[in-house]
Amino acid sequence: MREINCDGNSILSSPSSRKIGFRDSGVRIRHLYRLRFFLFFVAIVSGVLVCRPRVGRADKVAALISRLENNSSYRVRVTAALLLGKACDPRAFGALVKAVRSDENPVVRSTAAGSLAAMGLMKAAKVLKKATRDKDNVAKKGARSALAKLCKGNTKRKQVYLNLDRMTYKGPKKGKVAVDMVRCRLAKAFRKESGVLLSWTGCAKPKQRQLSRKRLKGYFVDVVVHIKMFGDQLGCKVSPTIFTYPRGQLRTTGGGTSVKVHGKLDNATIDTCVKHAIDATAGGLIQTIRRL
């Protein structure tokens, strides 16, 4: 098993690899980069990655949450809310919900609502619906826009409806946050596909006749998420299975992708592990769905 840094750089330790240095010609440097990315590709294809986070790396999510909750400048809080929308950490979700409900500045509340929608988690719909009754017009418009983004049911040029509700967790209780992380990262990956629809009008669940009327295929993406500690390494495995929606007939299954990360059983380490697992899984999953 080859060890790979979380920034994608291979740890080359063989004698042959040391012969290629940055003092050599440009041709040899290019060979070094080709070798590095080839080894990274081989590790992904093999289905097993070992990642080593940078030593002393700060917990960026915790720092952003602190700014959102405690900073006196609304501009700083707006920036923090925007950046938290790019994370898939449940702590970020909770902080954004709190900001939507109680931040004193309407611009911050509006921005936090947009970030909740950007995370792609359907459980945010209830919070956003309530926020559309905000007394301030700026916050109200922001919540309405966020809800429309999250629950958009535009079927134009769509071929497939995907439901991400069915996920199973196996592992220690503290690692259960991985389920929402997987769901969030899969949603972000699928939203980049022009032919995929992840939500229905009003965040409702479509029925078979509604899908048939729009000539859409429907599938459950059922994912089993495993979290386990291996000494000083945290291991995560993402195993997706595809069923027809809403009938639940099995269409295809796979072995999944396993990743190991050096670190403790905490949100930051779990998120790093899940990110690499989804990055290695999403592309193949999308190709499989296209072929169904």
pLDDT (tens digit, 0 to 9) for every residue of the chain, 292 residues total?
333 334 333 222 333 333 323 334 444 444 544 555 444 444 444 444 555 544 334 489 999 999 999 999 999 999 999 999 999 999 999 999 999 999 999 999 999 999 999 999 999 999 999 999 999 999 999 999 999 999 988 888 899 999 999 999 999 999 999 999 999 999 999 999 999 999 998 889 999 999 999 999 999 999 999 999 999 999 999 999 999 999 999 999 876 899 999 999 999 999 999 999 999 999 889 989 988 8
Q: Which residues pair with 196 in a beta bridge?
A: 160
Task: Tell whether 179 is covered by a domain.
Answer: yes
Q: Could you tell me the residue range of the domain that residue 31 belongs to? A: 3-46
Task: Tell whether 106 is covered by a domain.
Answer: yes
Please indicate, yes or no, whether residues 14 and 115 belong to a single structural domain of this protein. no
* Start-end of H helices in 120-219: 125-131, 137-150, 178-191, 208-213
Task: Tell whether 139 is covered by a domain.
Answer: yes
Please indicate, yes or no, whether residues 187 and 266 belong to a single structural domain of this protein. yes
**Domain-ending residue, one of 128, 150, 172:** 150
Please indicate, yes or no, whether residues 127 and 195 belong to a single structural domain of this protein. no
Sequence-distant contacts of 134-142: CB under 8 A, at least 24 apart: 134/106, 134/109, 136/106, 136/109, 137/106, 138/106, 138/107, 138/110, 139/106, 139/107, 139/109, 139/110, 139/113, 141/110, 142/106, 142/109, 142/110, 142/111, 142/113, 142/114
Please indicate, yes or no, whether residues 146 and 164 belong to a single structural domain of this protein. no
Please indicate, yes or no, whether residues 287 and 166 belong to a single structural domain of this protein. yes
Please indicate, yes or no, whether residues 94 and 213 belong to a single structural domain of this protein. no
Task: Tell whether 53 is covered by a domain.
Answer: no
**Domain-ending residue, one of 150, 170, 196:** 150
- d(CA 140, CA 134) in angstroms, rounded, equals 5
Q: CATH number for the domain including 255?
A: 3.30.160.100
Please indicate, yes or no, whether residues 167 and 146 belong to a single structural domain of this protein. no
**Domain-ending residue, one of 93, 122, 150:** 150
Task: Tell whether 52 is covered by a domain.
Answer: no
Please indicate, yes or no, whether residues 69 and 138 belong to a single structural domain of this protein. yes
Residue 237 DSSP SS3: strand
Please indicate, yes or no, whether residues 218 and 287 belong to a single structural domain of this protein. yes
Please indicate, yes or no, whether residues 75 and 141 belong to a single structural domain of this protein. yes
Residue 135 DSSP SS3: coil
Half-sphere exposure of 77 (CA within 13 A, CB side): 24
Provide the pLDDT for residue 256.
Answer: 82
Provide the pLDDT for residue 51.
Answer: 55
- Split into its structural domains, the chain has a count of 3
